[in-house]
Amino acid sequence: MRFFLVVSLLYPLIFSVALAKPNTLASPLKQIQTLRDSGRLDKAIQIGQHYLNAKPSNLDTDVALVVGLMFLQKKDYTAAETYLNQVLKISPHYLEAEIALIQIRIAQRRPKEAQKLIQKVVQQAPHDSRVIKIQQDFKLSEIAEKNRHLKQIQSKRSH
């Protein structure tokens, strides 16, 4: 009887605490995205890494993708690539991860590698607007690189 009485008295308190503070390890994606959207990348990355490290044998590809994208946003290409490759190891055709890797290659001025990745995603999703946009971005980056090179040549000639 005592046990029942204690449990019945504590149940509302336990239930209200559970509602007030949900288990952040259970589903951190929304929390991470909210922090990311508010510009708190470091905190969002910390929560994402903590969540992923707590479940290393069962990678949540959505969380790993978002962590990788945040590192990309911070221009930490090595860390971004690490997370994106983890995603692609489990889900080889995860388009968002592939597009992010292309963006990294473009930013690193590695056009041959970017071109290979672009060809791969074009085969997967030729009509996807994101794929079309990344193709356009790549072409623009190539043009910008050629213009940069021409300016360097012109600058050397004028001196």
Residues 27-78: tens digit of each pLDDT:
689 999 999 999 999 999 999 999 999 988 888 999 999 999 999 999 999 9
Give every CB contact of residue 91 below 8 A, 6+ residues apart in sequence: 61, 97
Residues 129-139: tens digit of each pLDDT:
999 998 888 88
The Cα-based distances of 82 to 3, 44, 73, 79 in angstroms read 51, 17, 14, 5
